[in-house]
Structure 1
Amino acid sequence: MSTLYLLHKPYRMLSQFTDREGRATLADVLPIPDVYAAGRLDYDSEGLLLLSDDGALIHRIAHPRHKQPKTYRVQVEGTISDTALAALRAGVELKDGPTRPAKARRLDDPNLCPRQPPLDTKRHPTTSWIELTITEGRNRQVRRMTAHVGFPTLRLVRTAIGPWQLGDLAPGQWRQETLHAPAPAAKPHKPWRQR
């Protein structure tokens, strides 16, 4: 049996518990000792972060071999085109190699809490929202993907990791789940067969 904490990491908060520079950290919102994040979110990204004191569980969630899909709601500069969405679905060529194909769709309403501080609408008068699901976890991958297709990311909120959903958690809120079985992998492993 393992305990998993689902946290809505706020904007401009580090995905760690300490910081020498005095920036906001997870310790400001999660008063649970000896837990560690399964993956991370950048300082300027928001949304679902999974934490546990079970190292094996963290490994099963975060290791790329398990290919846990991660879903994001992404606000981009401009009105995203069908061509850009098709490119994201096919996979794009980044400096560190091609991405796997992603699920990408336009969103009319992202259904999210307002960001604090809000986006400057004078600097960014035209924006649009997409939902993007990837099965990789490269550094700033979503931001690099949307920039590659000509629509830089302005706001990035992770809403799901595998079967776990952000749901109605507000920024800084968390909930606890008890798992009675190993965390599910996104794709089952093929059984080993003797040859």
Structure 2
Amino acid sequence: MPQLILLNKPYGVICQFSDHPTHPTLKSCVPLPGVYPAGRLDTDSEGLLLLTGDGTLQHRIADPRWKLPKTYWVQVEGEPKEEQLEKLRQGVDLGDFITQPAQVRRIETPELWPRNPPVRFRKTVPDCWLEIIISEGKNRQVRRMTAKAGLPTLRLVRVAIGPWRLDGLQPGEMRQLEVSLQDLPRPGAAGRKPGAGASDRSQAPAAKGGKGPTFRFARNRKD
């Protein structure tokens, strides 16, 4: 079966293997030949990145037609009002396109690893964390969405893609799985639990209730 790599991409690492003049690349995290990202994650964003050497699997994961849900924990500047959250849920006009409806809820401060460099805060402006689930993945989409809603993003961590999640991976750490194409979510069922033949049976975090996320990392409130 095809191999899938789950990587916790650190902040500042660019999603390419070729050398870059100012940023570390995936070579600093993934010492394996012949694998490529199935999708991308901005250089200034952190968290789950999927890689594989299987072209069919890579296309299946990255192709937007399959609409695999992507779950982000987003630290935003400001105290969100319900109308701002509802704007994110209904879809945001970003000028070049209108985003599809998203699942958005406020969450407790998650227990994450310290970011390097730390987030810059303004002492006079509050901040909070949101969980945002989208099925798209256009360039800097989540950051643009929150900015349009008046909630600039301070820190962005992707914690799940479809049925795969970080599950305790620290920055730069990876986990390898065997994945059957037959067990991947079908259109209209993205995010469901893989079938019995899949090696990874975890799902994206539930978006119900008001409790915070369940992942456990070293707590660091102010990064």
More strand by share: 1
1:150 maps to amino acid: G
TM-score computed with the length of structure 1 as normaliser? 0.92
Question: Does 2:101 match 1:73?
Answer: no
Q: What is aligned with 2:96?
A: 96
Aligned length: 189
Supply the distance in 1 between the matched residues of 2:54 and 2:124 (Cα, whole angstroms): 42
Q: Whose RCO is larger (CA < 8 A, sep 6+)?
A: 1
Return the offset for 1:78: 1.1
Question: Does 2:27 match 1:23?
Answer: no
Is the 8 Å Cα contact of residues 76 and 153 (structure 1) preserved in structure 2?
A: yes
Return the offset for 1:147: 0.4
Where does the alignment leave 5 or more consecutive residues of structure 1 unmatched?
A: 190-195
Q: What is aligned with 1:173?
A: 173
Q: What is aligned with 2:185?
A: 184
Q: What is aligned with 2:55?
A: 55
Return the offset for 1:111: 2.5
Supply the distance in 1 between the matched residues of 2:181 and 2:148 (Cα, whole angstroms): 40
Is the 8 Å Cα contact of residues 67 and 185 (structure 1) preserved in structure 2?
A: no
1:95 maps to amino acid: G
Structure 2 counterpart SS, 1:93? coil
Is the 8 Å Cα contact of residues 51 and 58 (structure 2) preserved in structure 1?
A: yes
Return the offset for 1:102: 0.1
TM-score computed with the length of structure 2 as normaliser? 0.80
Is the 8 Å Cα contact of residues 45 and 157 (structure 1) preserved in structure 2?
A: yes
Where does the alignment leave 5 or more consecutive residues of structure 2 unmatched?
A: 191-223
Supply the distance in 1 between the matched residues of 2:123 and 2:30 (Cα, whole angstroms): 34
Question: Does 2:133 match 1:133?
Answer: yes
RMSD: 1.6
Q: What is aligned with 1:38?
A: 38
2:27 maps to amino acid: A
Return the offset for 1:129: 0.5
Supply the distance in 1 between the matched residues of 2:123 and 2:139 (Cα, whole angstroms): 26
Supply the distance in 1 between the matched residues of 2:187 and 2:72 (Cα, whole angstroms): 17
